Amino acid sequence: MKILLKSAKIIDENSPYHLQQKDILIENEYISQIKDELTTTADQVYDEANLHVSPAWFDAGVSFGEPGFEERESIANGLKVAAQSGFSDIALVASNHPCTDSKNVLESLRDKANHSPTKIHPTACLTKGLNGIDLAELYDLYQAGARVFSDDLQPIKNPNLLKLALQYTQSFGGCVASFPLEEKIANQAQVHESPNSTLMGLKGMPSLAESLQINRDLAILEYTGGNLHIPLVSTAEGINLIKAAKKRGLNVSCSVAIHHLFFDDDALQNFDADYKVFPPLRSKSDVKALRKAVKENVVDFVTSDHRPINLELKEVDFVLAAYGSIGLESAFSAMNKLFGAELSVKMLVGGRKIYDLKQSVIQQKEKVRLTLFTTENEYVFTKDNIASKSKNSIFLNQKLKGSVLNMI
């Protein structure tokens, strides 16, 4: 199978052709030629205007519902959505039913992607049954292929448990992910604590609920060593703590959901449950700080935080509505509108490091997985752009920029 890319702009920091416009010939998944112009025949030719190419993307924050909540999304359709959205690899969150706390569950999830162009790399549970009390069989899960251990949106309440997890995983190179939430401070709040929460008459979650937990986790990391990841950081205070910890040399990484870079809590004023995500949308100053952190490489990668929710759990009173938004289909276009193609790609492949996944390099004789996309076309994101079974997108009716053409 020969694939020819004509006049494609290469976005790949690791490639000697980064930011250059080249013709690329791919034969049986290997790049055979990269030249200013190629006239060879091929089985498939891409000759679109504004064609861009990068190493295929990775999303470390995906839920498909299945197993346990198949009415929200199936793995089979979810993988098709991921492939259409430019992702060759995804990490499924651990909070399925059954949750990913055993080798059998992990392997069964991974095997469901055997015939898909997008591969699954399950995030394993940190604790048995997500109970927050007993560590799961972390080494067995590591031997089965898990690299990151997390209880998803459930914070690690017991600081000694985090200490033990960081100490234990050092022996085999695992990464512990700790969701940044102090539940007693959050106190079942619905939205961010701000003038908007007062105007809406809803209980607000202060930034302290995030920063207090991050401060605790970083103190434990400094004591134990190890590899700590803090997902879905949403506040200026939280990101500043992580920035300072990195300067001190702590082995900490962090990620941000794309919607926390795009929206602030003004979007909630119409009580539209599509904007109800967790952590909640924060203030304009938080959004500004997060965008700055992306540009300064404090944020290691972004995730779509793709969480399908069935219609009956969204079309209810805002207080009763479920948290979550789908995000795979809009991920690149939203990032590209905010940051442009080069930084967007960097953020969309950055998660490979903590999941120990090889990244393709666009150069001759390399075996590659590539995403093809455009960057200049603007469009309004509607339900017609959604291939997911659930339609609960926070980006509905937003003007986005750039489109995915294919993932090869």
Domain positions in the chain = 2-52+364-379+401-407, 56-352
How far is residue 402 from each of residues 59, 136, 262, 380, measured CA to CA in Å? 18, 42, 15, 11
Pairing assessment for the beta strands 21-27 and 57-62 based on DSSP bridges: unpaired
Gyration radius of the chain's alpha carbons:
21
Q: Which two tokens stand for residue 73?
A: 């999304």
Pairing assessment for the beta strands 2-10 and 21-27 based on DSSP bridges: antiparallel
State which fold the 56-352 domain adopts.
TIM Barrel (3.20.20)
Task: Burial-class residue 248 by CB neighbours within 10 Å (0-12, 13-18, 19+).
Answer: exposed
- The percent helix, strand, coil of the chain (3-state, each to 5) is 30, 25, 45
The per-residue pLDDT for 300 is 98
pTM score, whole prediction: 0.96
State which fold the 2-52+364-379+401-407 domain adopts.
Urease, subunit C; domain 1 (2.30.40)
Q: Are 5 and 11 in contact (CB under 8 A)?
A: no
Q: CA 107, CA 118: separation in Å to the nearest integer?
A: 16
* pLDDT tens-digit readout, 62-106: 999 999 999 999 999 999 999 999 999 999 999 999 999 999 999
Distance in angstroms between the alpha carbons of the first and the last residue of the chain: 11
Question: Under the phi-then-psi rule, with left for phi > 0, alpha for psi from -120 to 50, and beta for the rest, what region is 101?
Answer: alpha
Going by the DSSP 8-state scheme, the letter that residue 58 receives in this structure is E
Point out the residues that are catalytic.
305
Q: What is the pLDDT along the chain (408 residues), one digit of tens a residue?
A: 999 999 999 999 999 999 999 999 999 999 999 999 999 999 999 999 999 999 999 999 999 999 999 999 999 999 999 999 999 999 999 999 999 999 999 999 999 999 999 999 999 999 999 999 999 999 999 999 999 999 999 999 999 999 999 999 999 999 999 999 999 999 999 999 999 999 999 999 999 999 999 999 999 999 999 999 999 999 999 999 999 999 999 999 999 999 999 999 999 999 999 999 999 999 999 999 999 999 999 999 999 999 999 999 999 999 999 999 999 999 999 999 999 999 999 999 999 999 999 999 999 999 999 999 999 999 999 999 999 999 999 999 999 999 999 999
Backbone angles phi, psi at 379, to 5 degrees: -155, 165
* pLDDT tens-digit readout, 380-399: 999 999 999 999 999 999 99
How far is residue 106 from each of residues 70, 89, 178, 323, measured CA to CA in Å? 17, 15, 20, 25
